[in-house]
Amino acid sequence: MPQHAPDVRRSADQVAAWLEGMNCPQVDVVAEDGQPAVLAHFPAPDGQPTICLYAHHDVQPVGDLGAWTSSPFEAVERGGRLYGRGTSDDKGGVLAHLAALQAFDGKPPVGVKLFIEGEEEIGSPSLGRILDRHRDRLAADAFVIADANNQETGLPTFTTTLRGIVDCVIEVRTLASGVHSGGFGGVVPDALTCLARVLATLHDDEGNVAVEGLVRTPGPDLDYPDDRLAKETGLLPGVRQIGHGPAVERLWTAPAIGVLAIDAPRVADAVNLVIPSARAKVSLRLAPGDDAARAMAALTAHLESHVPWGAQVTVTDGESGQPGVISTSGPIFEAARAAAKEAWGREPVFAGIGGSIPMVAEFQQQFPGATILVTAVADPDCHMHGVDESLDLADWRKAALSEVLLMDRLSR
């Protein structure tokens, strides 16, 4: 929200101040025609590798303020969890990085760069410019992206697949202007009905995505019980899941389509009128191995070809982000795996996430020789983006300890 731009700037300045308090030799707040990000660098001791720690300090709006148990911007501890907007997504990730550095009194045994972004929640529109203009300041042997989810509370999880995203706005027009429904209803089509009919073609009767040409791949060998999914989503009694196949496949390695919004008259403002135009925003999550541009073309072609009764249609492209597949091989990944096992006392698992982290594909493209580690401080009960967002403090401490142990292992 534009009115909160000063708050985002204060957040960036606070992160920079904490790093300066650790005597970090290079700290800058940069904004490449976007929201402010923090770039910092602790130079590597002779012969040591460099890792780049990523998280983001921007957050989602709070929604219904009255629904929160405590103020969303006052951190409150209850029952071993820390409540507040951004605790799990992703200020918890920011502070895990800072805690790991603090464990070394600001003198880590390896080189450390930090990239604390300020606009991840709006799709990272200036990320490409930051990477282009500050590439040397971000280059590293490994990137630790603390912005995913642990599969369970107390279970360290490395994310190895991410879905991509494209969205668009479809506008349907049938009349130059609205006409009386009593005079012309039954002869000319209303645009809202046309829109509803075309949106209904995006899924088959079982809820599978019906757009042709999209990629779907097998999911990992992990169980996601139906009762857990129902609890975590708040699925209402009698409402069935949609689609075919294992839950982890439908969640992580198959496409998903949702209608995010519709512009049409409100019920409170309804009049007896044949609606001349209506539009909707459609979001497509695409599977690992797919391509954002190709998927957008497939979605556009489907929408344009399924509008009924000759109605005019315009499809306008929106946000786009590539899916990602992350390698689990190499000495740095093995060091991270061993560090997580030591910190958590459990063998980590590999999982996917249904969401998108655009910088993963960007980092892979810009730094093809680097190891990518997508880690987490969030858990299934964190309610990220929702009311009463929270963070399990025991898991947060283990996440920070994992980074301490990783730096120690890499230095040896």
- Positions annotated as catalytic residues are 58, 120
Strands 76-78 and 81-83: antiparallel
Instruction: Answer yes or no: are the C-beta atoms of 48 and 137 closer than 8 Å.
Output: no
What residue has token string 């995006």?
202
Instruction: Answer yes or no: are the C-beta atoms of 359 and 54 closer than 8 Å.
Output: yes
As given in the structure block, the two tokens for residue 174 are: 């049938």
Report the alpha-carbon angle 386-360-108, nearest 5.
95
As given in the structure block, the two tokens for residue 194 are: 């046309």
Number of residues that make up the chain: 412
Q: Is 259 exposed, middle or buried (0-12, 13-18, 19+ CB in 10 A)?
A: middle
As given in the structure block, the two tokens for residue 185 are: 């209803």
DSSP 143-187: EEEEEEE-SBTTB-EEEEEE-EEEEEEEEEE--SS-EEHHHHBTT
Q: Which amino acid is at 359?
A: M
Which three-class secondary structure state does DSSP give residue 343?
Answer: helix
Count CB-CB contacts under 10 A for residue 296: 20
Residue 282: φ, ψ to 5°: -115, 135
Residue 239: φ, ψ to 5°: -85, 130
